[in-house]
Every structure is written in C-alpha cells, then in structure tokens.
Amino acid sequence: MTDRVVIVGGGHAGVTLAALLRQSGYDGEVMMMSAEDDAPYHRPPLSKNLHEPEAEQPLRPDHFWSDHDLVLRLGTVVDRIDRVRHEVVEVGGRRVGYDHLVLATGAVPRSLDVPGAELEGVLTLRTLGHARELRGFLAQPGCRLVVVGGGYIGLEVAAMAVGAGAEVTILEREQRVLARVASAELSAFLTEHHRAAGTTIVTGVEVTCFEGSDGRVTSVVLGDGTSVDCDVVLVGIGALPLDDLAVSAGLQCSEGILVDNSARTDDPSIMAIGDVTRRPVGMLPGRSRLESIPSSTEQARQACSVIMGSAPPPSEVPWFWSDQGDLKIKIAGVVRAGDSVVLRNDPAVGRFAAYHHADGIVTAAETVNSSGDFMAAKKLIGSAMVIDPTLLANTATSPAQAIVTQPQVRA
Ligand SMILES: Cc1cc2nc3c(=O)[nH]c(=O)nc-3n(C[C@H](O)[C@H](O)[C@H](O)COP(=O)(O)OP(=O)(O)OC[C@H]3O[C@@H](n4cnc5c(N)ncnc54)[C@H](O)[C@@H]3O)c2cc1C
C-alpha cells in the first residue's frame, strides 16, 4: 500500500511542503486540496505590486504538479476530519484517506463589524480575487481610498495606491501606525514618509459605520461624528487563523492550531504549518502565531522532516519583510514591548536600523533600506551574544564589533 500525505490548503506553506517532499525523495502519494479556484500564487505582491505584471505570480508553473506527480485539487473545500478513520471529508461528502494529514489552511482577514460593512466597495485583501477587485477600483481616475488600519498591509497598499495617483487616507485606532508590531521609532519614520508621499494618516480614531448610496460605499464615519468621503475602503485590521477544521476535530487550538517545533499537533498523524499555527518561537514564552513567508517555509521543512523521518532542520530566526514605495523594510526577530531600542544611522537619511535588546541581548531589529544591518541582526539574535548598545549605535564600527561577551546559554 502506498503512503499518502494529504495537505489541506494550497498557500505558501502547503505548496512548499509538497515540493519539499518530492525534493527529499518521498515516493508516496501527495494530494493537496485548495479551496481557491486560482492555482497557488504569491500573496506578498498583492499589496505591493498590484498594478505591475508581476502582481499575479504563480507559486509554481502549471506543469510543476504533473511533473512531480502531485495531485492538486482546486476549488475543493475540506469540511471535516474523521480522525478515527484517518480520512478528510470534503464539502460534497467525498472522503480521502491519509497516512499523514497536514493542515495549512492559513488565515482570513478580520472583518470590521460595523453598520455598512456589507456595502459594495468595502474590501479586505487576502486573495487574488480580493486584489483584482481592489485594482478595479484603483483604476478609476482620482479614486479616493480609505484604509482602515495602519498595519503592514494597509501601509503597503497606501504606498502603492498613492504612487498610482489615488487619494489615500489611513484611519488608525491606536495612537500610532503599527502600534502592536513595531517600535515607536519605526512608526514615526513611516508616518512621516507616507505623509510626505501624500497619504493622510489619522490616528486615535474609531470607525463607527460606513455610509453608502445605491449599495456602494461613499463615506466612513468616525466616532466623533466626522466622516471621510471615499470610493473604496480597504479594511486591514489583521487576520484570524482558519483553525475551525482542527477545532471541530478536537485538536488542541488556542487562536491557532497548537504545534510543537516539529509542526506536530497533539495527534501523531496530523501536523499543521503556516499562518494557522501557534508555535514555539525562539526566546518568546509560550507559543506565538507568526504570519510570514519565512515562518511558513520553516514549518514546511519541519513537517517534511517528520514525514521523511530525517533530522529536524535547525531552528531559524524569524523574519519578515515589507516594501512600501522605495522603502525596503526587513525585520529580524520579533518586536516585543518593553525591550530597549538603539538606532544605527539616522532615520532622516532614509536608511537606518532599530535594534531591540533586553539587557544587551538583541531580540529584534527593524531595518530600513539597510540589508547589512538585517544580516548582522539575524546573526546577533541567533547567537544570543551580549552587545554594548553604545558600540552598536556607533556606525564607525560594525555591529559584530559591539559584541562584548560569549553566547548566552538559552533555556
Ligand atoms: C496582501 C498580503 C501581503 C503579504 N506580504 C507579506 C510579506 O511581504 N512578507 C511576508 O513574509 N509575508 C507576507 N504576507 C503573509 C504571507 O502571505 C503568509 O504568511 C503566507 O501566505 C501564509 O501561508 P499559508 O500557506 O499558511 O496560508 P495561506 O497563504 O492563507 O493559504 C491557505 C490556503 O488554504 C485554503 N484553505 C483554507 N481552508 C481550507 C479548507 N477547509 N479546504 C481547502 N482549502 C482551504 C485557503 O483558501 C488558502 O488558499 C502577506 C499576506 C498578504 C495577504
């Protein structure tokens, strides 16, 4: 009998795993169910290069699936897992048996539950379909876009839309953009940068409803009664893990499927990878949910090594990138409240790094147009060496020269 791996979800995590299995010599069946009708594609360009030909980039060429004897079933939604019979049950009732089941169902945009949210033109951005819809609105000359939420996706879309001639307003509930995920230094720099490019950024405001005419959104109303006129709204207020299959199957979940650092759930036949998971991350306590391509790739490697029975891959320093107009932002590690921040170079020149450290141990670095700092920070975070913050700030010496002691032993 042939061994079969069933992968639910055709996003970056699932596709990477399918490819890795064949690269590693797995000769059993690999079947991937994807709810979407589009063949798997890259999500990052959707908020960055929407107007460029490379906006719609397949993750693999069409012939890849047959070349590698991988079964890709598009437009196929898995409805439940029968853990006793080791089968998934699709909407429509078809049952497919598995030896290894890998859940890679990703996340969905958080919706804003206010009156008018159902109006035409109130959009979110996760899929190619969403991106095509947004592109349709932005193609109208003089389009007025309101972005609700000053997170990474909102800022990327704002940069892209302003560059394409739209009038853009970002409405953020917190006192600064990226409040939950970035340092005050990076938030301040980006706010200034986006304002200089022509985007209006309003912080500390709550959206209370959307108003419309003939079923289409025409304005966004704020808590103080003022309103912002618009032709289209992008709600970019975060994403929720699509863990309902796992929850209903009784797997351990807590706002995401709980996995260990080999992508295993509490069922030995079921693994989970990508945005849907909550997993151990470096020096952070408990488990965290990362939403990034590098994290999905790392977990796909972990799942592959479990299936192949090979040595687990070394753990990686988490990282993330964001392109906003001419800014290349790369973040190594995970930004935590309470760590100290030291700047290398001056944000005023548009190239700098904000290193975060706890008692001299670097925990994260936010780098803007500074790939040298990004590479250096990854090494410092991975090695847990203690640095002298004053030396780190000194651009006459390299980040490595700021190291003052040998590696700390991590628990
Ligand atoms: C606009 C945008 C820009 C981004 N930019 C960056 C960036 O610059 N850098 C970065 O590192 N990350 C970025 N990300 C995040 C990155 O795209 C995600 O981390 C990555 O796509 C996660 O991959 P995944 O496979 O876990 O989930 P997904 O890509 O969400 O794929 C999950 C798939 O599973 C399918 N599915 C769900 N439930 C079922 C079911 N029951 N049956 C069958 N199929 C199902 C879904 O339809 C979906 O196709 C961005 C994300 C977005 C939306």
pLDDT digits (tens, 9 = 90+) for 240-279: 999 999 999 999 999 999 999 999 999 999 999 999 999 9
Yes or no: say if 323 and 42 are a contact pair by the CB < 8 Å rule.
no
CA dist., res. 192 & res. 279, Å (int): 35
CB of 14 closer than 6 angstroms to any ligand 1 atom:
yes
Rounded to an integer, what distance in angstroms lies between the CA atom of residue 75 and that of residue 391?
55
Residue ranges per domain, the chain? 4-108+240-308, 122-237, 326-402
CA 291 – CA 288 distance, rounded (Å): 10
* 109 CA closest ligand 1 atom index: 53
Beta strand spans in 223-360 (E): 227-229, 232-235, 239-241, 257-258, 270-272, 277-278, 319-324, 327-333, 340-344, 352-358
Residue 55 pLDDT class (50, 70, 90 cuts): confident
The verdict on the CB of residue 13 being under 6 Å from ligand 1 is: yes
183 C-beta closer than 6 A to ligand 1: no
How many residues can be counted in the chain? 411
Task: List the residue whose alpha carbon is closest to atom 31 of ligand 1.
Answer: 11
Atom of ligand 1 nearest to the CA of 131: 1
Rounded to whole angstroms, how far apart are CA atoms 50 and 44? 10
- The DSSP H or E segment spanning 138 is helix 128-138
Ligand 1 contact via 74 beta carbon (within 6 Å): no
Intrachain domains 4-108+240-308 and 122-237 with the same fold:
yes
Is residue 387 in contact with ligand 1, taking CB distance under 6 Å?
no
Q: Report the nearest-CA residue for atom 37 of ligand 1.
A: 105
* Amino acid, single-letter form, for residue 290: L
From the list 266, 331, 270, the residue with the least C-alpha distance to 295 is: 331
Atom of ligand 1 nearest to the CA of 9: 34
Q: How far is ligand 1, taken at its centre, from the CA of residue 370, in Å? A: 27
- The tens digit of pLDDT for each residue in 102-141 reads 999 999 999 999 999 999 999 999 999 999 999 999 999 9
CATH class for domain 326-402? alpha beta
Start-to-end CA distance of the chain, whole Å, equals: 43
**CA nearest to 23, candidates 64, 63, 62:** 64
Superfamily in which the 122-237 domain is placed by CATH: FAD/NAD(P)-binding domain (3.50.50.60)
Ligand 1 centroid, distance to 340 Cα (angstroms): 32
pLDDT confidence of residue 128:
95
34, two tokens: 């994807």
Q: Which H/E stretch holds residue 187?
A: helix 184-197
* pLDDT-derived band at 54, boundaries 50, 70, 90: confident
- Please list the residues that pair with 7 across neighbouring strands: 32, 102
User: What kind of fold does domain 4-108+240-308 have according to CATH?
Assistant: FAD/NAD(P)-binding domain (3.50.50)
Answer whether 342's CB lies under 8 Å from 363's CB: no
Q: Whose CA is nearest to atom 2 of ligand 1?
A: 44
Give, for 298, the enclosing helix (H) or strand (E).
helix 293-308
> Is the predicted pLDDT of residue 64 greater than 70, yes or no?
yes
The Cα–Cα gap between 8 and 98 comes to 11
